Each structure stands twice: as structure tokens, then as C-alpha cells.
Amino acid sequence: MHIENHQLSHAKKIVSPNFNDRPDENDISLIVIHNISLPPAQFSKDYVSLFFCNQLDSNSHPYFKEIDTLEVSAHLFIRRSGEIIQYVPFNKRAWHAGKSSYNGRENCNDYAIGIELEGTDTLAYTAQQYQQLAQVIQALIQKYPYLNHHSITGHNMIAPNRKTDPGEAFSWPLLSQLLESHSI
């Protein structure tokens, strides 16, 4: 797995309109892990891609009426099967973190890469997701000099009173173990 022109080689590409330029294109210094499922706790549909591309039909599900005006994206989405979809090039600012702060630094979207896992706070993630996530993180660390194993956090840590993902079901020890085994 490698990155060329700020795109992940193994990812399916779907372009989201929900991004803009970073204040400093070279300041990529944080990886934020999220979870998403649309409708909540339902998997394997294309609703996340439609949502990230502002094409979600709010009449398809009652929950969609609550989110249909939001303009959201992530750089990557890792499905439960391990499939990876890239919506925004890594050198651009995806709109995934919202009001956020990391180590006293505001506006995490400015300098973070957002990775969404298909899931919920309370449902275990799949082995394929952990494997792909570890490989993606290693590729990002290899490509972007300000990233390392200590610059990875959850959405809950950068927006603690607002967000809970990736949730209690996410195994930080397992991710750490996989990163060690994939270390270069």
C-alpha cells in the first residue's frame, strides 16, 4: 500500500465536494479515527458515500432528515469488509472533525487526516478493518513527515463533549499491536 499524488493506491476513489485547501498543505500532523454507519448500526449500503457527496435522499430513512443539511467528508472510509474508499486527497482539508482541539491546537481539520470506520461505538470492528487501518496508517507515516505512532487519536479525544467515536468497541491496544507488527 502506498500513496501517490496524495491518493492511496489501494482505495476506490469517490470525489466528495466537502473539502477545501488546508492553511498549510504540508502540515499534516494528526490522524483522527471516527466511525459512521447510515442508517445507524446498518452496514453495507452506499449511504455513507451518498452522504459524503451531498446526494443522500432524506426520504430514504427517517434519520436522514436529521443530517441532510450537513456537509461532511472524510479522507478515507474503511468498510467492514476492509474495502477502502477515498473521498478527499490527503493534502486537502476534509470536513470530518468539526469544532475540535488536539493538544491545545484548534481546528483539527486544518492539519488532520480523517479516517472513518464503518461501525458504531458499541459494535466490534472487524479484523479486516484493523488490518487495513494499520496498513493505511503506516503508509501515511511513511509519506508525511509530521505523522508518527503518537499522532493518532479518536474523534472523542478532539471533541470530547460532542463526540464519542470510535467508541468503546474500538481496540486501541490491538491497533497499537498491529502498528508494531507493520512497522517499517
First to last CA, the chain: 13
Domains of the chain: 3-181 (3.40.80.10)
Dihedral (CA of 85, 91, 92, 93) sign = positive
CB of 105 within 8 A of CB of 18? no
pLDDT bin (cut points 50, 70, 90) of residue 179 is very high
Query: CB atoms < 10 A from the CB of 5, how many?
Result: 8
Q: Which among 116, 118, 168, 180 is annotated as catalytic?
A: 116
Q: Model confidence over 1-27: pLDDT tens digits?
A: 899 999 999 999 999 999 999 999 999
- In 3D, which of 73, 97, 92 has the Cα closest to residue 16? 73
Q: Model confidence over 37-84: pLDDT tens digits?
A: 999 999 989 999 999 999 999 999 999 999 999 999 999 999 999 999
Question: What's the pLDDT score for residue 182?
Answer: 67
Annotation says 116 is catalytic: yes
CB of 77 within 8 A of CB of 87? yes
